[in-house]
Amino acid sequence: MKRWLLGLAAVLLLASPWPTSAAETAYEWNVADIYPSEHEWMRDYKAVKNALPKLAAFEGKLDDAKTIAKLFALNEQTARKLEKLSLYAHLKRDINIEDETAARLGAKVEALAAQYAAKTAFIEPELLALPERTLRKLQKSKPLKAYRYYFHELREQKPHTLTKREEQLLAKLSPALGEAENIYDHAARGDYEPPSVKMPNGKTVTLTDDQYAAMLEHPDRRYRKAAFEAKAKSYEAMEQTAAATLYASVKADELYANVRRYPSGLAAALAADDVPKEVFDHLIAATRRHLPALHRYVELRRRALGLDRVHSYDLYVPLVGETMKPIPVETAKTLIVEGLKPLGADYIKQVHRAFQERWLDVFPRPKKYTGGYNTGAYDTHPFILLNYNGSLDSVLTMAHELGHAMHSVYTNRAQPYHYSGHSIFTAEVASTANEWLMLDYLYKQAKTKEEKLRLLIEQIEQIRGTLYTQVMYSEFERMIHDKVRQGGSLTADELNHLWLGLLKTYYGPAYAADPGAARGWLRIPHFYDAFYVYKYATSLAASYTIVSDIQTDTSGKAVKRYKQFLRSGASDDPIRLLKRAGVDMTSPEPIERVLGHFAELVDELDRQLPSQNRQRST
Nearest residue to 426 (alpha-carbon basis) of 439, 409, 408, 441: 408
Domain count, the chain: 3
Full 3-state SS string of 549-582 = HHHHCCCCHHHHHHHHHHHHCCCCCHHHHHHHCC
284: CATH: 1.10.1370.20
182 domain-assigned: no
Question: For residue 472, what pLDDT is reported?
Answer: 98
Alpha helices, H only, 260-391:
265-272, 277-289, 291-305, 329-339, 345-356
Residues 417 and 386 in one domain: yes
11 domain-assigned: no
Residues 157 and 228 in one domain: no
- Other Cβ atoms closer than 10 A to 20: 7
What are phi and psi for residue 436, nearest 5 degrees? -60, -45
Residues 462 and 434 in one domain: no
Is the model's pLDDT at 110 over the cut of 90?
A: yes
Is the model's pLDDT at 188 over the cut of 90?
A: no
Question: For residue 18, what pLDDT is reported?
Answer: 52
Question: For residue 532, what pLDDT is reported?
Answer: 94
Q: What is the pLDDT of residues 151-183, one digit of tens each?
A: 999 999 999 988 878 887 887 888 788 889 888
Is the model's pLDDT at 560 over the cut of 70?
A: yes
1 domain-assigned: no
Q: What is the pTM of this model?
A: 0.91
Angle at which helices 277-289 and 291-305 cross, to 10°: 40
CA distance 489 to 77: 48
Is the model's pLDDT at 5 over the cut of 60?
A: no
Mean pLDDT rounded to a whole number for the chain: 91
Final residue of a domain: which of 445, 476, 505?
445
Q: Mention every residue, 6+ apart, whose C-beta is less than 8 A from residue 516.
A: 228, 229, 231, 232, 233, 312
Q: Any idea which of 49-58, 71-80, 229-238, 339-348 has the lowest mean pLDDT?
A: 229-238
49 domain-assigned: yes
Final residue of a domain: which of 114, 146, 161?
161
In 407-451, at which residue ranges do the beta strands (DSSP E only) sit?
A: none
CA distance 113 to 119: 10
For residues 471-483, average pLDDT: 98
CA distance 126 to 63: 9
Final residue of a domain: which of 394, 417, 445?
445
CA distance 373 to 404: 9
Per the annotation, the verdict on 428 as an active-site residue is no
Q: Mention every residue, 6+ apart, whose C-beta is less than 8 A from residue 139.
A: 147, 148, 151, 152, 155
CA distance 170 to 256: 9
Is the model's pLDDT at 8 over the cut of 50?
A: no
What sign has the CA pseudo-torsion 585, 589, 590, 595? positive
Is the model's pLDDT at 504 over the cut of 50?
A: yes
DSSP state for residue 585 in the 8-state scheme: T
Residues 260 and 311 in one domain: yes
Question: For residue 179, what pLDDT is reported?
Answer: 86
CA distance 46 to 473: 46
Question: For residue 167, what pLDDT is reported?
Answer: 81
Residue 21 pLDDT grade (very low, low, confident, very high; cuts 50, 70, 90): low
Q: What is the pLDDT of residues 131-150, one digit of tens each?
A: 999 999 999 999 999 999 99
Question: For residue 15, what pLDDT is reported?
Answer: 42
CA distance 335 to 388: 15
82: CATH: 1.20.140.70
Residues 137 and 262 in one domain: no
Residues 211 and 334 in one domain: no
Residues 157 and 267 in one domain: no
Q: Are 490 and 248 in contact (CB under 8 A)?
A: no
The alpha carbon of residue 570 and the mean position of all alpha carbons in its chain are separated, in whole angstroms, by 17
Q: What is the pLDDT of residues 517-527, one digit of tens each?
A: 999 999 999 99
Angle at which helices 291-305 and 492-507 cross, to 10°: 80
The helix (run of H) or strand (run of E) holding residue 417 is none
14 domain-assigned: no
436 domain-assigned: yes
Start-to-end C-alpha separation, the chain: 55
Residues 61 and 201 in one domain: no
CA distance 606 to 295: 13
Specify the higher pLDDT residue, 90 or 183: 90
Question: For residue 17, what pLDDT is reported?
Answer: 60
Q: What is the pLDDT of residues 252-296, one digit of tens each?
A: 999 999 999 999 999 999 999 899 999 999 999 999 999 999 999
Q: Any idea which of 12-21, 197-206, 309-318 has the lowest mean pLDDT?
A: 12-21
Residues 453 and 594 in one domain: yes
168 domain-assigned: no
Of all residues in the chain, what percent carry a pLDDT higher than 90?
81
Q: What is the pLDDT of residues 408-462, one digit of tens each?
A: 999 999 999 999 999 989 999 999 999 999 999 999 999 888 889 999 999 999 9
Residues 525 and 489 in one domain: yes
For residues 495-500, average pLDDT: 97
Q: Which amino acid is at 54?
A: K
Pairing verdict, β 373-375 and 383-385: antiparallel
Q: Which of 401, 428, 435, 477 is catalytic?
A: 401
Q: Are 84 and 380 in contact (CB under 8 A)?
A: yes
The CA-atom distances, in angstroms, between 581 and each of 270, 397, 546, 561, 596 are 21, 24, 7, 5, 21
Give the domain extent around 520: 192-322+449-608
Is the model's pLDDT at 223 over the cut of 80?
A: yes
187 domain-assigned: no
Q: What is the pLDDT of residues 226-252, one digit of tens each?
A: 999 999 999 998 999 999 999 999 999
Residues 270 and 337 in one domain: no
Residues 285 and 333 in one domain: no
